[in-house]
Structure 1
Amino acid sequence: MGIVHPGSELTPTKAQLLQQWAPRQSWWPGGDTVPDFQANFRFDDPEGEVGIETFLIPLGDQVLHVPLTYRSAPLDGGELLGEMDHSALGRRWVYDGVSDPVYVAEATRVIREADTEVTMLMPDGTPIPRRRVTAAVRGSGHGDGTLHVERVLQADLPDTATGSLTATWREHPAPLVLAWLG
């Protein structure tokens, strides 16, 4: 379950952190502007400590895949995007999900168990209706090996893939590969 804190303020915002960080990455296809995301989804940390959220960002004819994690304390060895203050949760350290072992473990589990994105809930447990921008994510239900995360999304899996994570959303009804095991 993903807990949403309505009315919370983030300083800086997620968009501001992405704007500062993403254009400096080697996988960023060019340009200094990060467009608004087209879709997103969340996974759940089994320990309930780390927020896991993924953004799917259109850039020209491409879609970029940017998984983030939110932590209440710094992560040794993680790639830090920056820090933010969350009005309900306090100080948060925001990391590139690919560098966070909680994201890697959860994405791997979702692939192997044919799982999906989490249901979003209010703090009291009331489900939040699915939003137009929520991507539908599906693990293949099999696979072994190392997790490989695609940054620029494709429709086809590499020949070495043993399992996959795909997503569809309003603007992309055909599945795109987010990650694979192999």
Structure 2
Amino acid sequence: MALLHRAKLHPTKFELLAAWLPGRPWYRGPANADVESVAAYRFDDPAGAVGVETMLVRAGDGPVHQVPLTYRGAPLDGADDWLVGTSEHSVLGRRWVYDACGDPVYAAALAAAVLADAGQAEVFFEVDGRREHREPSMTVTGSGARGTSVPAVGAVRRVVQDDPTLIVTDTVELAVVRCLDGGHRATGATLTGTWDGQPAPLPLAYARPV
């Protein structure tokens, strides 16, 4: 379960991404364009400490890009290269926003989603002491059998910034599709997604134990 607050962020996630995306080697959109949301999904952090959100965004007339992010209340040791930026949250205070491909919490959640169809997090808003359910803007499905044993991810050892972006951990190799233009074909254990305007499942990520 992901519990969100109706709060303000400064700068916003989209402002951070507008400055960060044009410097990525896999980015195929225009520079100096506003970033808009297409859809999003979240994973649970079992420890409840890290926000794990994957955003599907478009800049200007460019293609849809997949951008996994993690939100932390303190810097992640050794992850300066993955820092998208910091933002002030009106409820939680300063948040460190990371490219999730360098974050082991995301790697573990993605491995479970692909290999064991662990699913996406249910999202709730905290409003005046009560919780309001938010309908998801997209649906993701893993090709692995639910309940399959997934190797524990302890560390991210290497990341290759390409499309797909390769994440090498101590137990699993993951690949995250960045440009969702329909040019990737599913092979092996796959996470697929559908959203408004995209009723046919598209591959989002792949995983294999090592």
* TM-score, normalised via structure 1 length: 0.88
Tell whether 2:53 aligns with 1:25: no
Per-residue deviation at 1:96? 0.2
**Which region of structure 1 is more displaced relative to structure 2, 142-151 or 61-70?**
142-151
Alpha carbons 1:155, 1:177 under 8 Å: kept: no
Q: How many residues align?
A: 177
Counterparts of 1:29 and 1:62, CA distance in 2: 7
Over the residues paired in the alignment, what is the CA RMSD in angstroms?
2.0
3-state SS in 1 of match to 2:121: coil
Look up the SS of the partner of 1:148 in the other structure: strand
Map of 1:112 onto structure 2:
115
Q: 1:89-123 deviations in whole A, cap 9, x for unaligned?
A: 11100000111111111011111111221111133
Q: Which moved more, 1:91-100 or 1:55-64?
A: 55-64
What does residue 151 of structure 1 align with?
178
Per-residue deviation, residues 42-67 of structure 1 (Å, max 9, x unmatched)? 11111000001111123547321000
Structure 1 runs not aligned, ≥5 long = none
Instruction: Name the CA shift for 1:93/1:61 in 2 (closer, same or farther; >3 Å).
Output: closer
Change (3 A) 1:140 1:127: farther
CA contact (8 A) 2:17 2:35 kept: no
Residue 103 of structure 2, aligned match among 97, 100, 108: 100
Q: Which secondary structure state, in structure 2, belongs to the residue aligned with residue 151 of structure 1?
A: coil
1:70-81 matched pairs, under 5 angstroms = 70-78=71-79, 79-81=82-84
**Where does structure 2 lack aligned partners over 5 or more consecutive residues?**
152-171
* Cα distance in 2 for residues equivalent to 1:77 and 1:179: 25
1:112-155 CA distance string (max 9 Å, x none): 11122111113356341315xx1101111159841111111236
SS of the residue 1:36 aligns to: strand
**C-alpha displacement at 1:30, in angstroms?**
3.7
